[in-house]
Amino acid sequence: MQITRILTVTGLSSAFSLGATFYPIVSVTSDTSATDFFTAQNLIQGPGVGFDSAEPHNSIGGGGGATWVTNAPNGGTGDYFSPLPGTAPRFVFDLGSPVPLNEISVWGYADGNGNGLISLDLRFSDSTTFTGAPVSISGITQPSLPRQSFSFDEITAQFVELVPTDNLFGIAPPGGDRAGLGEVAFAVPIPEPSTGLLALIGLAGLIRRRRS
Protein backbone atom coordinates (compact mmCIF):
# COMPACT_ATOMS: atom_id res chain seq x y z
CA MET A 1 0.00 0.00 0.00
CA GLN A 2 1.31 3.44 -0.91
CA ILE A 3 0.36 6.57 0.98
CA THR A 4 0.85 10.25 0.15
CA ARG A 5 4.06 11.64 1.61
CA ILE A 6 3.16 14.91 3.28
CA LEU A 7 6.54 15.84 4.76
CA THR A 8 10.07 15.31 3.52
CA VAL A 9 13.54 16.03 4.79
CA THR A 10 13.88 18.61 2.03
CA GLY A 11 10.68 20.26 3.14
CA LEU A 12 11.98 20.56 6.69
CA SER A 13 15.19 22.14 5.48
CA SER A 14 13.22 24.72 3.55
CA ALA A 15 11.19 25.55 6.63
CA PHE A 16 14.31 26.03 8.73
CA SER A 17 15.73 28.42 6.14
CA LEU A 18 12.99 30.94 6.91
CA GLY A 19 15.08 32.15 9.84
CA ALA A 20 14.84 32.42 13.58
CA THR A 21 11.64 32.71 15.60
CA PHE A 22 11.66 35.53 18.14
CA TYR A 23 9.76 35.95 21.39
CA PRO A 24 7.34 38.88 21.51
CA ILE A 25 8.53 41.49 24.02
CA VAL A 26 5.69 42.94 26.08
CA SER A 27 7.50 46.10 27.20
CA VAL A 28 10.83 47.77 27.85
CA THR A 29 11.66 50.37 30.48
CA SER A 30 14.68 52.67 30.48
CA ASP A 31 16.26 54.39 33.48
CA THR A 32 17.12 57.28 31.16
CA SER A 33 13.67 57.56 29.56
CA ALA A 34 13.24 61.16 30.76
CA THR A 35 16.29 62.31 28.81
CA ASP A 36 16.63 59.79 25.94
CA PHE A 37 16.83 61.50 22.55
CA PHE A 38 15.13 58.56 20.75
CA THR A 39 12.77 56.42 22.84
CA ALA A 40 13.63 52.96 24.14
CA GLN A 41 10.37 51.65 22.64
CA ASN A 42 12.20 51.61 19.32
CA LEU A 43 14.26 48.69 20.63
CA ILE A 44 11.30 46.28 20.61
CA GLN A 45 9.54 46.92 17.30
CA GLY A 46 10.04 43.27 16.42
CA PRO A 47 10.14 41.11 13.27
CA GLY A 48 8.49 42.66 10.26
CA VAL A 49 8.68 46.13 11.81
CA GLY A 50 12.11 46.68 13.31
CA PHE A 51 13.81 43.96 11.27
CA ASP A 52 13.05 41.47 8.51
CA SER A 53 11.11 38.38 9.59
CA ALA A 54 13.24 36.03 7.47
CA GLU A 55 16.98 35.51 7.23
CA PRO A 56 19.22 37.43 7.33
CA HIS A 57 16.89 39.50 9.57
CA ASN A 58 18.32 42.81 8.38
CA SER A 59 17.22 46.03 10.07
CA ILE A 60 14.31 47.94 8.52
CA GLY A 61 14.66 51.71 8.29
CA GLY A 62 16.70 53.73 10.74
CA GLY A 63 16.95 57.10 12.43
CA GLY A 64 14.73 58.46 15.16
CA GLY A 65 11.76 56.26 14.29
CA ALA A 66 13.66 52.99 14.55
CA THR A 67 16.58 53.38 16.97
CA TRP A 68 17.26 54.30 20.59
CA VAL A 69 19.89 56.82 21.69
CA THR A 70 20.57 58.89 24.81
CA ASN A 71 21.13 62.61 25.00
CA ALA A 72 24.67 64.02 25.22
CA PRO A 73 25.17 64.83 28.93
CA ASN A 74 28.72 66.08 28.30
CA GLY A 75 27.53 68.79 25.96
CA GLY A 76 28.38 66.88 22.82
CA THR A 77 32.05 66.25 23.55
CA GLY A 78 33.95 63.43 25.26
CA ASP A 79 33.06 59.85 26.07
CA TYR A 80 29.49 59.22 27.24
CA PHE A 81 30.65 56.48 29.62
CA SER A 82 33.90 57.85 31.01
CA PRO A 83 33.54 61.33 32.58
CA LEU A 84 30.18 60.71 34.24
CA PRO A 85 30.20 57.44 36.22
CA GLY A 86 26.77 55.96 36.84
CA THR A 87 25.17 57.43 33.73
CA ALA A 88 24.93 54.07 31.91
CA PRO A 89 21.31 53.39 30.92
CA ARG A 90 19.55 50.36 32.35
CA PHE A 91 16.80 48.53 30.47
CA VAL A 92 14.36 45.90 31.66
CA PHE A 93 12.64 43.78 28.97
CA ASP A 94 9.43 41.93 29.90
CA LEU A 95 8.76 38.77 27.88
CA GLY A 96 5.34 38.25 29.44
CA SER A 97 6.03 34.87 31.06
CA PRO A 98 9.06 32.73 31.94
CA VAL A 99 10.63 31.34 28.75
CA PRO A 100 13.88 29.52 27.93
CA LEU A 101 16.60 31.89 26.69
CA ASN A 102 20.04 31.20 25.29
CA GLU A 103 20.56 34.03 22.78
CA ILE A 104 20.25 37.77 22.31
CA SER A 105 20.07 39.46 18.91
CA VAL A 106 21.05 43.10 18.50
CA TRP A 107 21.20 45.56 15.62
CA GLY A 108 23.65 48.47 15.68
CA TYR A 109 22.66 52.09 16.16
CA ALA A 110 24.05 53.78 13.04
CA ASP A 111 26.81 53.75 10.47
CA GLY A 112 29.39 56.50 10.66
CA ASN A 113 29.52 57.59 14.31
CA GLY A 114 30.83 56.34 17.62
CA ASN A 115 27.56 56.35 19.57
CA GLY A 116 26.73 52.70 18.91
CA LEU A 117 27.32 50.17 21.67
CA ILE A 118 30.13 47.62 21.57
CA SER A 119 29.37 45.81 24.85
CA LEU A 120 26.63 45.24 27.41
CA ASP A 121 25.75 43.18 30.48
CA LEU A 122 22.70 40.95 30.87
CA ARG A 123 20.97 39.56 33.96
CA PHE A 124 17.83 37.42 34.11
CA SER A 125 14.98 37.00 36.58
CA ASP A 126 11.36 35.93 37.04
CA SER A 127 10.76 39.29 38.73
CA THR A 128 12.11 42.80 38.27
CA THR A 129 14.71 42.16 41.00
CA PHE A 130 18.04 41.03 39.55
CA THR A 131 20.85 39.37 41.49
CA GLY A 132 24.01 37.51 40.64
CA ALA A 133 26.83 38.07 38.19
CA PRO A 134 25.89 39.42 34.75
CA VAL A 135 26.47 37.76 31.40
CA SER A 136 28.81 40.08 29.50
CA ILE A 137 28.34 40.51 25.74
CA SER A 138 31.08 42.15 23.66
CA GLY A 139 31.94 42.46 20.00
CA ILE A 140 28.88 44.42 18.85
CA THR A 141 29.86 46.25 15.67
CA GLN A 142 28.99 49.62 14.23
CA PRO A 143 26.86 48.85 11.12
CA SER A 144 23.11 49.10 11.73
CA LEU A 145 21.94 46.71 9.01
CA PRO A 146 22.90 43.12 9.95
CA ARG A 147 21.63 41.16 12.91
CA GLN A 148 24.25 40.06 15.42
CA SER A 149 23.48 37.04 17.58
CA PHE A 150 25.22 36.20 20.86
CA SER A 151 24.65 32.94 22.74
CA PHE A 152 24.89 32.12 26.45
CA ASP A 153 24.05 29.20 28.74
CA GLU A 154 20.32 28.54 28.65
CA ILE A 155 18.24 30.03 31.44
CA THR A 156 14.49 30.41 31.99
CA ALA A 157 13.33 33.93 32.82
CA GLN A 158 10.58 36.46 32.17
CA PHE A 159 12.63 39.63 32.66
CA VAL A 160 15.96 40.57 31.12
CA GLU A 161 18.05 43.45 32.45
CA LEU A 162 20.37 45.03 29.86
CA VAL A 163 23.05 47.53 30.88
CA PRO A 164 25.24 49.08 28.15
CA THR A 165 28.90 49.18 29.22
CA ASP A 166 30.76 50.86 26.35
CA ASN A 167 30.37 52.51 22.97
CA LEU A 168 32.60 53.24 19.99
CA PHE A 169 34.12 56.44 21.36
CA GLY A 170 37.66 56.75 20.03
CA ILE A 171 37.15 53.79 17.69
CA ALA A 172 34.70 55.19 15.12
CA PRO A 173 34.75 58.99 15.27
CA PRO A 174 32.92 61.27 15.37
CA GLY A 175 30.56 60.81 18.27
CA GLY A 176 30.76 58.62 21.33
CA ASP A 177 29.12 61.34 23.44
CA ARG A 178 25.87 59.32 23.37
CA ALA A 179 24.90 55.64 23.65
CA GLY A 180 22.67 54.07 21.03
CA LEU A 181 21.29 50.78 19.74
CA GLY A 182 18.96 49.79 16.92
CA GLU A 183 16.92 46.78 18.05
CA VAL A 184 16.93 43.97 20.63
CA ALA A 185 15.33 40.54 20.23
CA PHE A 186 15.52 37.09 21.80
CA ALA A 187 15.31 34.04 19.55
CA VAL A 188 13.40 30.95 20.65
CA PRO A 189 15.96 28.17 21.33
CA ILE A 190 16.08 25.39 18.75
CA PRO A 191 16.84 21.73 19.57
CA GLU A 192 20.44 20.60 19.58
CA PRO A 193 21.51 19.45 16.08
CA SER A 194 21.85 15.85 17.26
CA THR A 195 18.26 15.81 18.52
CA GLY A 196 16.92 17.27 15.30
CA LEU A 197 18.96 14.83 13.22
CA LEU A 198 17.65 11.84 15.14
CA ALA A 199 14.10 13.07 14.63
CA LEU A 200 14.65 13.42 10.87
CA ILE A 201 16.18 9.95 10.64
CA GLY A 202 13.24 8.47 12.53
CA LEU A 203 10.74 10.29 10.32
CA ALA A 204 12.48 9.17 7.15
CA GLY A 205 12.45 5.57 8.40
CA LEU A 206 8.74 5.77 9.21
CA ILE A 207 7.94 7.09 5.74
CA ARG A 208 9.93 4.30 4.08
CA ARG A 209 8.13 1.65 6.12
CA ARG A 210 4.72 3.12 5.30
CA ARG A 211 5.56 3.18 1.57
CA SER A 212 6.67 -0.46 1.49
27-187: which CATH number, 3.90.420.10, 3.40.50.1100, 2.170.190.11, 2.60.120.260?
Answer: 2.60.120.260
In this prediction, residue 123 carries a pLDDT of 98
Number of Cα atoms under 13 Å in the Cβ half of residue 74: 16
pTM higher than the cut 0.85: no
Q: What pLDDT does 13 receive?
A: 31
Domain ranges in the chain are 27-187
What's the one-letter identity of residue 140? I
Give pLDDT tens digits along the chain (212 positions): 333 332 223 333 333 446 899 999 999 999 999 999 999 999 999 999 999 999 999 999 777 889 999 999 888 788 998 866 556 789 999 999 999 999 999 999 988 899 999 999 999 999 999 999 999 999 999 889 999 999 999 999 999 999 999 999 988 788 999 999 999 999 999 877 655 544 545 555 545 555 55
pLDDT of residue 208: 54
